[in-house]
Structure 1
């Protein structure tokens, strides 16, 4: 007796015993069916319990002892659990003809076949999708831990593969329900392509944008970007198929459509972060009426300033020689060449920046005068800090301008500042006597 004969004998054992005891055949058949279904359900749940209790737990113990983290992510994505579902499914598929041997219409009829074999096939397709999805998620999470892939839009690629996977799964399910082949069903989708393009417009745009973002290296995870249209200013934390997630500096999150990264303009600060310095660019506004030529006594005082004493002395010697050679009458200060308090201040600021330990001397250091404005004469400072971290950069910038603003009165210069309420209150207005 082969295996199929033994299984058939066991599934009909209760029926044969009842009939031999004088029970009506119809009653014996239904009782036998109920008992077979109960035994099959018990076997299925018992096998699932044993698989979960021993196989899955053993796999967890094994992964704890391995060095690689890939198998750990397999556990997190329930890969062993889904694989373990295959055995109960095969058992049900194999036992179904024996359990319903006395009811062939339930397996062969057009209506009831939908409830048994087709349902099993549909579940088998879904189970295959689950297993494949588990592998995709495992690969995605594992690649995120690898340094060479940490800034790549792995999330977008995994979402695209998952969408394709589910589309294929639904095609097989639909083909199983309708009885058509998968190829004919796929060809019939051509007629509905316009609807599909409309429904999946954002997904398609996001997919194309993700590829371009990755290939052209436009944005990476961890980049600091500024996207004023969406109010985003912070680090990119996630790039997926539809959106890019940015954590702003106030710890709020902003989501940006992925295709906006290639259709709109935004600012990526990666170049600054990878460069040897971060730019400091700010202006001090000087009152123009405080700028004047320097007398010999004032020049003598400026020579006491250590950073520029040598410059002031050498510059004055050069100017005196020029004025003497050309015979300028220096009883009037305007004649000939002269040093100004603003010029010496600019040299002081430039020397101060060159001496500052936090400034990168290999990059530009410029102290320049811009065009006069109604707010005063701008003296712009342009240099680069060595430390590019935001908090340290702001500290360095503040330290530089604290010093320069405090140094301005030593050069008999004045900062421009719009009058405040106190200034207007303290203003003395002289009213001329009334003319009679």
Structure 2
């Protein structure tokens, strides 16, 4: 073709000193034209046909090929391949320009093949995330390692082409740089080891709700990568955590709670100690109208009467209330709370449900409620416990109990008014 171009230029009357330069320029323009046209056809026509075939296909896996631009990256190989093939055809193969263009084409092919393989690996990862029932396999980290190796091989090949040396020559020099490579890729190596440990021990998987206070992460895991783990917090921010931090530091995984079917509620009502007292018979009769504790009161009164009849009184003064067993308002209120929780439709009845006293403090006697809601949704969960405690705060005065709080301005105003 170079001879044909030279002959045509001679026929056009181009002077001899300019024929060589003109033939080179025309050859470069023809190469550029063919490469541009081939890329245009591949991108706008061939890809359109492939996209149409994929859209009409009943399979879903082939959609990922187009979503991750596999065919788009392969289409970019066409101009590089044509550049490699047409350069010795339109230019002198031994010329410096031809050598530069051919090396450029080979380097472009190396990296474009690496990008195409990377896109295929992304397709594999997407199919796994879509189809896998369990996501403990560290596929994402493994694929990232494969990508790293692919790009490393492409870089070595490209460097060998630029230096006109064998790739084995470059690989032999990497042995002396082992310590440097380990230092450079130490986070990658630790991340790979950590991802294998995370998978083997099933510590965390995408979709798990985890807490890492050290890194300010509190939300759902969206990706476990080779070097980082991405956590989407509940305020829609994304926290990036080193992968090895999940094995070197402690974190809380809420997966067990989600799988159990219940979500724990653990809160206390602080009772004013000065409001705790014994019940008399009139108060107990009034409380029998409360259906949830009617049977409890009847059983307790029967039990107390039987115990009193069996006791040897001797010189004991049974008229004093302290000398006989009595019901207290705090105990009755605790029984009411327990009965209220057991009949509540939003409380998980197959999990622990109890009401207990904690150590008395300077602010009062805490009654701690420990139970599980059957609804794990955050909004519903908060609404359930709010409804329960709303009811209990309102019910406490019916048992002659006061919920403790520090004096407020309203309390001081009432005290001054009464004074």
* 3-state secondary structure, aligned to 2:133: helix
Which of 149, 164, 185 is the aligned partner of 1:164? 149
Classify 1:249/1:95 alpha carbon distance in 2 versus 1 (closer, same or farther; 3 Å).
closer
Q: Determine if the alignment matches structure 1 residue 380 to structure 2 residue 368.
A: yes
Q: Which position in structure 1 is the counterpart of 2:350?
A: 362
Number of the residue aligned with 2:80: 89
Residues 51 and 149 of structure 1: is their aligned pair in 2 closer, same or farther, counting only changes over 3 Å? Answer: farther
Contact persistence 1:144–1:154 (CA under 8 A): no
Using structure 1 for the length normalisation, give the TM-score.
0.87
1:106 aligns with 2:91: no
> Residue in 1 aligned with 2:37?
46
> For 1:144, what is the secondary structure of its paired residue?
helix
CA–CA separation in structure 2 for the residues paired with 1:174 and 1:282? 65
1:4 — aligned with what?
none
Query: Paired residue for 1:399?
Result: 387
Distance between the aligned counterparts of 2:274 and 2:265, measured in 1?
Answer: 28
Could you say if the C-alpha distance between residues 428 and 31 of structure 1 is closer, same or farther in structure 2, counting changes exceeding 3 Å?
closer
Aligned length: 416
Give, in whole Å, the separation in 2 of the partners of 1:248 and 1:40: 53
Q: Is the contact between residue 366 and residue 381 of structure 1 (CA under 8 Å) also seen in structure 2?
A: yes
Is contact 1:151-1:222 (8 Å) kept?
Answer: no
Structure 1 residue 428: deviation in Å? 5.6
State which drifts further: 84-93 or 283-292.
84-93
**Aligned residue number for residue 67 of structure 2:** 76
Spell out the pairing of 1:10-409 with structure 2 (5 A cutoff): 10-16=1-7, 27-101=18-92, 105-106=94-95, 115-148=100-133, 154-328=139-313, 329-409=317-397
Cα contact 1:213–1:219 (8 A) shared by 2 = yes
Compute the displacement of 1:153 (Å): 5.5
Among 404, 411, 414, the residue aligned to 1:423: 411
Give the RMSD, CA atoms, in angstroms: 2.7
How far apart in 1 are the matches of 2:185 and 2:216? 26
Name the CA shift for 1:85/1:251 in 2 (closer, same or farther; >3 Å): closer
Q: Is the 8 A contact 1:114 1:177 kept in 2?
A: no
Contact 1:69 1:142 in 2 (8 A): no
Separation of aligned partners in 1, 2:363 and 2:115: 68
TM-score normalised per structure 2 = 0.90
For residue 374 of structure 1, give the secondary structure of its aligned residue in structure 2: coil
Aligned in 2, Cα 1:26/1:318: closer, same or farther, shift over 3 Å? same
Corresponding position of 1:7: none
Q: 1:28-70: CA deviations, max 9, x gaps?
A: 4444333333333222222222222321111111111112233
Distance 1:423 1:152 in 2: 61
